Every structure is written in C-alpha cells, then in structure tokens.
Amino acid sequence: MGITPQPGIMDIALYEGGKSAIAGREDVLKLSSNENPLGPPASALAALSEAATGMHLYPSTDHAGLRAAIGEVHGLDPDQIICGVGSDEVLQFVTQAFAGPGDEIIHTEHGFSLYPVLIHMAGATAVKVLERERQVDIDAIIAAVTPRTRIILVTNPGNPTGTMIPVSELERLVDAVSHDIVIVLDGAYTEYAHGYDGGVALAGSRPNVLMPRTFSKIYGLGGLRIGRGYADRAMIEIMTRIRQPFNLSVVQLAAAEAAVRDRAWVQNCAALNADQRGRLTGALRQLGLACDDAHGNFVLARLADEDEAAVADAALQADGILVRRVTGYGVPEGLRITVGDEAQTSRVIAALTRWREGA
C-alpha cells in the first residue's frame, strides 16, 4: 500500500510563476511578475548588508522590531500585526487557522491564483464566485455565503484585473455577514491605489477582518519574501500559534524594517508607477486594445480572444519582452503587463505598435 496524502492535496494545481527568460536573448525585459522596476531601496540594501554579519545568530521569534516600525509608520498597534514569508504565508496562516474539512472558503473568479491552493491545503472546499466585468461583485459574494462558510478572500486592487472595490462596498460586505466569518482584504497593491487605506479602518475596528500586505511590490523586496497582516489581537494571537518561530531571517527583518521607514522611496515609486501606468493605459487604448482603469502596478490588456492574445504575446517575446498570459485567472484573452519605468514603457508601446501595424 502506497502513502496517501491528506484530502485536498491532490486537487492542488502547481503554481506557475511569470516567465523570466527567452532562449537566445540577453536583453529580456521581464514584465510578467509585477516587480518594482526601481528595485529595492538603498536603505534596505544597507540594512541587509549590515545584518548579514549576524547570520550565524537566530532571528527574533516575535519580530518586535519590524512590527514596531510598521506600527510607527502606519499608526497601527504592533500587537495587531503578524509577519510572514510574503503575504502568501499570512494567507496560509488564516486559511489553516480558521477552516478545515467540511468548511467553505469563498474566493472570486479572477482572484489570486494561490487561493485555491491554500484552500485545498486546509482541506476546505473552494467556492468560486463570479465577478461582473472583471469587478468583484459584493452581492454575489453575500449570496454565496452558507452555514459552512468560514472565510471570504477578496483581492483589492484585483490581480490580474487591476480593478478596485470602493471602501463603501467592503463595509457593506463586512456588515452583511456573520462575525464568525473571517473576511480577508488582500491588499498587495494597496500602495499603488491612490487614496485607499487597504482596509486598515475595517481591520482595526472589526473582530473578523484581516488585512494582509506585502513587501514584494512597492518596496522591491520580492526576492526576500516578507509580508504582514493586520487584524484584531485575538485573530493575530490565534494565527501566531501556527506560525513557525523563526520564519523570518535576520536579513529579512532588517531589510523590511529599513524599507518600511523609507517613506520617500515609497512616494517616489508610487509617483513613477502612476505616471507610467497612465501612459501605458492611454497607449493601449489608442492601439485599440481594451483595458480597465488600473489601480496596481500593472495593466491588463484585453485582446479580441485567446488566439489574438497568443499572437500578441509571441510578438512581444520576439522583441524580448515578457508579459503574463492570464488564462489560468479566467481571462484567456488577457495579457497582464507590469508597469515599468519610462524607457521600459516606451519599449512595450513600440513593440505593440509594430505588431498592430504589421497585423
């Protein structure tokens, strides 16, 4: 008799990251993973270098320094913060802590592709709710709630759609469901969404709301894998019980603390992104390519159909540019294009223009 995995494990489809190389090319422009074109801040690099001399020592188990820095910068209670290996691990904490076999976790049609993986890992049942024109439909989520619902996962701004739900709609969702259902407001791209707090007010005032955030995007620390979550103290205490004590290294903690304090860096990255995002969106529309108003660090271009998306993707790769096909996210006609700097955006626009003119 062979070994038998836990229920749900064999239902997990392996996660596929954005492509990063093109055979035979050294000038590849990678715009497939929503990475910061400016890289990490110098302050984080300096802190990492200094901390590296202490790599023989175990890191703190409570992440007190990083939690204090996050609390100081954002006006949050450090005791309501948990840190993880990327926001992915924070999402794993919440699904494993509050759901299991026989329970249901709601996610939306075009939400983060890791959600079903985490749901199956917990042994719970994934309930996919359709969106409306690539926009999360709060009424549809509310209608999908059953006595078995334990968690609702909402990405805002959406990935790969880039669309946003207004805070008033999030409040309506929280008010409509029972307080024994955990609502996760996944805000990996919050810093790029002008005027949006990522759900801070809701997470700080409701006992069942969790706000995960990441250091991978605007802070440029994707390769270090650091994330955080903010919620009621009781929820954080429960999740901390299943967090491995040394899940973040000394260099991760040092770099993240320096980055979160570097507000000038964040403002500069957000300004660059807003400028180039608007430029890319305008160019796509001038080329006759549909795209919604985007609120993250990427734009979702929609082609006529899946076949045309494949042709456009091939044309971009011929020019050394990698974007993300999002068939697995339920948008087969879509190409998700990370917003780069001015030169990178010019290169994308020029490549798409050549393709359009030659089509």
Measured distance CA(101)–CA(120) in Å, rounded? 9
Measured distance CA(113)–CA(265) in Å, rounded? 29
Looking at the domain that runs over 9-39+264-358, which CATH code has it been given? 3.90.1150.10
Res. 264: pLDDT tops 60 = yes
Q: Between β-strands 182-186 and 149-155, what pairing exists: parallel, antiparallel or unpaired?
A: parallel
In a 3-state reduction of DSSP, which class is residue 310? helix
What does residue 277 show for φ and ψ, rounded to 5 degrees? -65, -45
Could you tell me if 157 and 53 are in contact, meaning their C-beta atoms sit under 8 angstroms apart? Answer: no
Q: How many CB atoms lie within 10 A of CB 43?
A: 17
Which of 3.40.50.11540, 1.10.3450.40, 3.40.640.10, 3.40.50.150 would CATH assign to domain 42-262?
3.40.640.10
- Size of the chain, expressed as the number of residues it contains: 359
Q: What is the pTM of this model?
A: 0.93
Q: Which tens digit of pLDDT belongs to each residue from 72-102?
A: 999 999 999 999 999 999 999 999 999 999 9
Position 358, amino acid: G
Domain map (residue ranges) of the chain: 9-39+264-358, 42-262
What is the pLDDT confidence band of residue 3, given thresholds at 50, 70 and 90? confident
Measured distance CA(68)–CA(76) in Å, rounded? 9
Q: Among residues of the chain, what percentage have pLDDT more than 90?
A: 91
